[in-house]
Structure 1
Amino acid sequence: MSVAFITGAGSGIGRQIALTLAGRGFQIAVTDVNDSNAAETVALIEAQNGTATAFHCDVTELTSVEQAAREVKEKFGSIDVLINNAGWDKIEPFLKSEPATWERIININLMGQIHTCKTILPLMIEQGNGKVVNIASDSGRVGSSGEAVYSAAKGGVIAFTKTVAREMARHKINVNCVSPGPADTPLFKEISEYNTGIAEALTKAIPFRRLAQPEDIANAVAFLATPEADYITGQTLSVNGGLAMV
């Protein structure tokens, strides 16, 4: 049974990815900086007769990632799939933003994925296979007003994904990227507090006339995490209802 290490799996899209992969037979390492949220995700998976364990992991700290990876390897024996989902943003005009916000955005959204890949890819090389799915954002492909540094970080994730995919192909490790558009998540609700009316405006702009649901993104991630995607690597798959067609 394959083991999936999912960051930020305590809520939102990460939680839904965990539930979706558990439903497809994966053993789930639910990692999150919020231990109580992670425990709630584990309980939901176990209620569906899935297998999951919670692990504390602060992706902004390399030592925390290394500790979590050791604990997951000891518990499950391997890490077959890495889902880099942990993320955070604050919508505001760039010139009104502050360095502390920039640092937090970059540390969570970009450095977090660098930390997990640096730690877990060697384990996958030793195993002789593995899959990595990095969560980016369409803001990293086309830009987004009020999200300058977040867009920069997510653009970095996309470029990082392509380069690592090239380096890992010889080891039979697939590295791909899912790039969501606006999604109905707790983070988006938090963002909406800064920018009232954004949800309505985006819904009107999306051809399917709705925000993405966590399930929409989780299903795309699940595809890239399974053998069905064995010949796909270095790709960025937008899940955005047609808002941006790139």
Structure 2
Amino acid sequence: MSQPADQQPCAVVTGGARNIGQAIALRLQQDGYRVVVVDIVEPEAPSLQADAYQVELADAEATRRVMAEIAEQYAVTRLVNNVGIVAPALIEEAQLEDFDKLMHLNVRSALICTQALLPSMKASGMGRIVLNTSRVVLGKEARTIYSATKGALQSMARTWALELAEHNITVNCVAPGPIATSAFWQNNPPDSERARRIVENIPLKRMGQPEDVAQAVSFYCDERSGFITGQTLFVCGGVTVG
């Protein structure tokens, strides 16, 4: 089922209802895509609500059902595996329950969603898959489990890039550094000494915004970015340099 030339291209964004995911979804709408948001809550932005699906992405069977419905209804050529949660804890305090929860949501959902949408991409003769990872893959205190999930995503992306290249499907990662989201401020209150130190240690001397991450995702999703695959772009204000 090849996609008609005049049909609006379709993108799926997991975790697209809030924060970075919302910024990505809105940017892709601006870029001309019909955007399907898959999240546990309804999108805040009115323009994203019509094509939204609510599902607990940590639930494998529920995710499979929703993704099968999306694959049946839309000719999807872009997938942004964005959903993810953090469970900050030092190694002595890391909980196995959190390990299972984060692996299921952050990693397993990406595998399920990608498998479900690959037939549509192959039929269309092209595809763009982007995984939202994190600067923590380079190391960060109190992120044992979270960094493990994001490192797993980057490893999977490199493997997928090799397997899917012959189908003109690229697979890349965006790895944000300090981004001003509700989750960040919850873990680092704006008036705290910790938050002040974080900003001071960013070479650009400002927090990143969700739109900064969306800009990188937009680049990877562009049809003209077809010779870039298996890569990770750090959106970090220079934190990863040196």
Same fold (TM over 0.5): yes
Name the structure 2 match of 1:65. 63
Give the Cα separation in 2 of the matches to 1:220 and 1:45: 20
Q: Determine the C-alpha separation between the residues in 2 that align with 1:173 and 1:9.
A: 22
1:31 aligns with 2:27: no
List runs of 5+ in structure 2 lacking aligned partners.
Answer: 1-7
Deviation at 1:172, TM superposition (A): 0.8
Separation in structure 2 between the aligned mates of residue 212 and residue 31 of structure 1, nearest angstrom: 24
Report the secondary structure of 2:113's partner residue: helix
* Letter in structure 2 aligned against 1:126: A
1 CA distance for matches of 2:58 and 2:119?
19
Kept in 2: contact 1:128–1:171 (CA 8 A): yes
Q: Residue 54 of structure 2 aligns to which amino acid in structure 1?
A: H
TM-score, normalised relative to structure 1: 0.89
Q: Does the Cα contact within 8 Å between 1:60 and 1:115 map onto a contact in 2?
A: no
- The alpha-carbon deviation at position 24 of structure 1 amounts to 1.1
Cα RMSD after superposing both structures = 1.7
Structure 1 gaps, min length 5: 47-51
Aligned length: 233
Among candidates 137, 148, 151, match of residue 147 of structure 2: 151
From 5, 8, 13, the counterpart of 1:6: 13
The one-letter code matched in structure 1 to 2:55 is: C
Cα drift, residue 65 of structure 1 = 2.4
Q: How many percent identity over aligned positions?
A: 30
Partner amino acid, structure 2, of 1:170? E
Aligned mate of 1:128, from 125, 144, 147: 125
Q: TM-score, normalised by structure 2?
A: 0.90
**Could you report, residue by residue, the CA deviation over 1:58-114 in whole angstroms, capped at 9, with x for unpaired residues?**
322332222222332344x31110000000002221211211112112221112212
Displacement after TM superposition at 1:202 (Å): 1.1
Residue by residue over 1:142-187, the C-alpha shift from the partner in whole angstroms, topping out at 9 and shown as x without a partner, is 1110101111111111111000000000111011010101110112
Query: How is 1:218-233 mapped onto 2 (pairs within 5 angstroms)?
Result: 218-233=214-229
User: For residues 197 and 88 of structure 1, do their structure 2 counterparts lie closer, same or farther at Cα, with a shift above 3 Å needed?
Assistant: farther
Superposed structure 1 runs of 4+ greater than 4 Å apart: none
State the one-letter code of the partner of 2:85. W
Which has more helix, going by share of residues?
1
